[in-house]
A = this chain, B = another copy of it.
Amino acid sequence: MSYNMLARRQQLMGPNVPTFYEDPVHIVRGQGVWLWDTEGRRYLDCYNNVPHVGHCHPKVVKAIAQQAAMLNTHTRYLHDGILDYIERLTVKFQHGLNQAIMVCTGSEANDIALRMAQAMTGKTGIIATDNTYHGNTTAVAQLSTRRPPIGGYPSHVRLVPAPDTVRPLGGSVQAQPQVFADNIAAAIAELEQAGHGFSGFMLCPTFANEGFPALLPGFLNPAVKVIRDAGGLILCDEVQPGFGRIGAAWWGHEWLGFSPDVVTVGKPMANGHPVAAVISRPDIMGAFRDAFGYFNTFGGNPVSCAAAMATLQVIEDEGLVENACDVGAYALDRLQAIQHPLKAEARGLGLFFGIEFVVDDGTPATDFTARVVEAMRHRGILLNRIGRHMNTLKMRPPMPFSRDNADMAINALEDVLKETRI
């Protein structure tokens, strides 16, 4: 069955379409933190952040169905849905971030954020961390490409080494914040020298794709000073940490303790319905709309807004941020207590966990980590890997994840770690 599906995918979707797992999972049903495959086998979802309030949450499904039956137009007509939602969303931000553009994907949101920095500064140079991912449009993919693009690497992009807690920049966790900032300062100088100038710095405040290092609040302070002194904007990609994922706060920047100029949100925003947004200040919004104009046909349509509003309501009604805090701390304690010769670190923020494996000399245990992921999948627990070396287990379940769910996942992980060949 799987083999035929893969052949059919290749025939209809082309080569190299990514799937999870050596033996990909054929899912047909989801509810809460559970998924079922074609043979009725149940999986505990410890990976998916898009179904933020749980797969197929009935209140979100109902909101989508009701609005889809009532009206689905665009923002060139007036509609209360988008205004009610933006009002509700922006009260969750400080720093004067009180306006929003609604779009369909995090990629579209980040593509706008880059242009906001250009519009405010009149410059094009942009800095991001290496091994990051901010999306798939041409402009945004330039920040994360691993392959030389046609026409060569773009000269207006500079990448600085991402922070790491197992192999910290500058050799120590204490030195790392300043070294990170110094690298940004050097990149700014290069961009100025090359004639691009410096428009801004884009980051995920939890450096999730970079390996989700165990940073402490305040880490970014030296970098913020460098960026501010150079007149650049801070573009904060909250697609992964946002909407309470990290438990301690609604947004990653709030927890890390800095003031972004532009925030982007996406994936979990409407529990899987294609919705994303850019939140910013009126001065930046005005500069962007003056310089570029912008209209998005599907962005902010009444159905998308209803889906996003219902998702936000469920997060609050069901206390899911508090749950992320509670279950997150409980699970992290258990993960940190795991003893294994290759385990370098277990880190977590709310319901986002990374468990990193290295061999004796500090070499990333990439293959071992891959084997753990596959073994977990065969035990009915879905998780995956992140980081530069893909040697960090990534657990990031839907937000209604309970202590029982955590026990089930971690018990299985303990067994798998014992059984997996080193």
Question: How many monomers of this chain does the complex have?
Answer: 2
Stretch at the interface among A66-74, A214-222, A224-232, A412-420: A66-74
- What's the least CB distance linking A237 to chain B, in Å? 13
Q: How far is the CA of A197 from the CA of B26 in the complex (A)?
A: 44
Chain B interface: which of A16-24, A251-259, A339-347? A16-24
Q: Are B272 and A274 in contact (CB under 8 A)?
A: no
Q: Which of B55, B108, B146 contacts A71 (CB 8 A)?
A: B55
> Which of B5, B73, B78, B108 interacts with A5 by CB under 8 Å?
B78
Cα-based distance from A301 to B196 in the complex (angstroms) = 39
Residues from chain B with a CB closer than 8 A to the CB of A72 are: 30, 50-51, 55-56, 271-273
**Interface contact A27-B79, CB-CB below 8 Å:** yes
- Candidates B18, B86, B266; contact of A76 at CB < 8 Å: B18
A124 at the interface (CB under 8 A from B): yes
Given the interface pairs A61-B69, A68-B61, A73-B27, the reply to whether A114 lies near B138 with Cβ below 8 Å is yes
Annotate A109-130 by CB proximity to B: 1 below 8 A, 0 otherwise: 0010011001100111000000
* A71-B27, A298-B105 given; A115·B138 CB < 8 A: yes
Residues of the B chain whose Cβ atoms lie less than 8 Å from the Cβ of A15: 285-286, 289-290
> Which residues, 128 to 176 on A, are CB-close (under 8 Å) to B?
136-139, 141, 145-147, 149-151, 156
> Is B48 within 8 A of A73, CB to CB?
yes
Given A65-B68, A136-B294, answer yes or no on A124-B108 (Cβ-Cβ < 8 Å): no
Task: Please tell me which one of the listed residues B8, B77, B149, B297 contacts residue A26 in the complex, with CB atoms under 8 A apart.
Answer: B77
A318 interface residue (CB < 8 Å to B): no
- Residues of chain A in range 23-62 having any CB-CB distance to chain B below 8 Å: 24-30, 35, 48, 50-51, 55-56, 58, 60-61
Q: Is the CB of B291 within 8 A of A12?
A: no
Q: Please tell me if the beta carbons of A150 and B14 are within 8 angstroms of each other in the complex.
A: no
For A8, give the chain B residue with the smallest CB separation.
B83
Give the total of A residues in contact with B, Cβ under 8 Å: 106
Interface residue ranges, A against B (CB under 8 Å) = 2, 5-6, 8-9, 11-20, 24-30, 35, 48, 50-51, 55-56, 58, 60-61, 64-65, 68-80, 82-83, 86-87, 90, 98-101, 104-108, 111, 114-115, 118-119, 122-124, 136-139, 141, 145-147, 149-151, 156, 196, 199, 266-267, 271-274, 282, 285-286, 288-299, 301, 303-304
Measured between beta carbons, the chain B residues less than 8 angstroms from A267 are: 297
Asked whether A29 lies within 8 Å of B70 as measured between CB atoms, the reply is yes
Q: Which residue of B lies closest to A304 (CB)?
A: B274
With A55-B71, A55-B72 as contacts: A297 and B50 at CB distance below 8 Å = yes
A78: B residues at CB distance < 8 A: 2, 5-6, 9, 19, 24-27
